[in-house]
Structure formats: C-alpha cells, structure tokens
Homo-oligomer: A and B are copies of this chain.
Amino acid sequence: MKLLEERIKADGQVRPGNILKVDSFLNHQLDVSLLEELGKEFYERFKDKGITRILTIEASGIALACCAAQYFHVPVVFAKKAKSKNLDGDLYTSTVHSFTYNKDFTVTLSKKFLGSEDKVLLIDDFLAVGKAMRGLIDICKQANAEISGIGIAIEKGFQCGGKELREMGFPVYSLAIIEEMTDEGQISFRENP
C-alpha cells in the first residue's frame, strides 16, 4: 500500500538490530487518519469473508483493529497480556514470546468473546517472527473459530513469520512488506503477493 510505504520512508527510523521505529504514527503516537485508511484497505481485501469478529493483542494492535472495525461493523476483542483481577470466568490462554520486551507473556481472552460460530480477522501492527500472531491463532484454534483473514500493517519480509504463516495456508495480507533495511536507513519494499 503506497500510502503506508511512503509514510514509513518519511517517518520511520531504522535502528541497529533490524529495528524499525514507527512510533510517530503507528504504535506510540497514533495517526488515526492514516489508521482509518489502513482499516479501509483491510476491509476491501476481506469484506467478502463474512467476518464476525476482529481479534488483536494489546496494546499496539488495538488502534488499528478499531479503525478496521468501523468498516466491518463487527466487535473488536483483544487478548490481554497481564492477569487482571477483573478477568474471571473461562479463559483461553496462550504463551507468546515478545522480542521487543524480551520476555514471555501469557495472553488471555475470555471464552465468551470467541466461539466456533466466529469467522475471525486477526490484526496486528507488526509481523516479524510471528510469535504474537501464533498466539492469536492458537486462541482461535482453542475456540474452534475460523481464521478468515490476517491483516498486518508492517511485515518484516526478511524474517520468517509471514512466509511460515502463508505456507500454513493462512490468508495473510500485509500492507507494507519490508524487503530490506540498511543501517544507513534505506528501506526497500516487496511487492505484495
């Protein structure tokens, strides 16, 4: 998606260790006008799939998921990373390793918000190795819900997550796929498959 690629080139910052900082518009400060355009693009791709729920993971997936939900007119539900006193009842749980935070999280979702009748669109801001997305897939499997789409804002195409998920047959749609980033800050993009 040209709009997102251009924004990444303009405002993204490459840091050593293959880190791409997009905190000025995607995951710390949020450019909601941009997120609405990204949400609309997910809708164009997945609008015929009968989506009943959008599932994401806190925290940075929430904004993008909400902006997409406005077009799908379905609820968003987000997996939580911490055990809240207010989470009771039956829970789906999965363990996710975060490279950003360098630790394992147990993510949880109340069973009442996802079931076998659901056709789910999974949304997240980033896809790299794919650990967070596999946690969400695991939760959908526990719920016997159908995964009807996976929408990603930025995929690090040089890491294995997107390739593996596509090989497993999941309909992954990444709005920007980074082919290569150099320490000098050059970013090149891959054509969307």
How extensive is the interface on chain A, given as a class? Answer: 35 or more
A66 to B: closest C-beta gap in Å: 5
Instruction: Name the distance in Å between A145's Cβ and chain B's nearest Cβ.
Output: 14
Question: How far apart are A187's CB and chain B's nearest CB, in angstroms?
Answer: 16
Residues in B whose Cβ lies below 8 Å from that of A152: none
Q: Does A1 contact B (CB under 8 A)?
A: no
Q: Decide: A75 and B23 in contact? CB cutoff 8 A.
A: no
Does A59 interact with chain B (Cβ within 8 Å)? yes
New A-B pairs, 6, CB < 8 Å, besides A24-B113, A33-B73: A25-B75, A28-B78, A29-B77, A30-B78, A32-B76, A62-B66
Some 14 contacts from A to B, beta carbons below 8 A apart, are: A19-B86, A23-B110, A24-B113, A28-B80, A28-B109, A29-B76, A29-B77, A30-B77, A32-B70, A32-B76, A59-B59, A59-B62, A62-B63, A84-B100
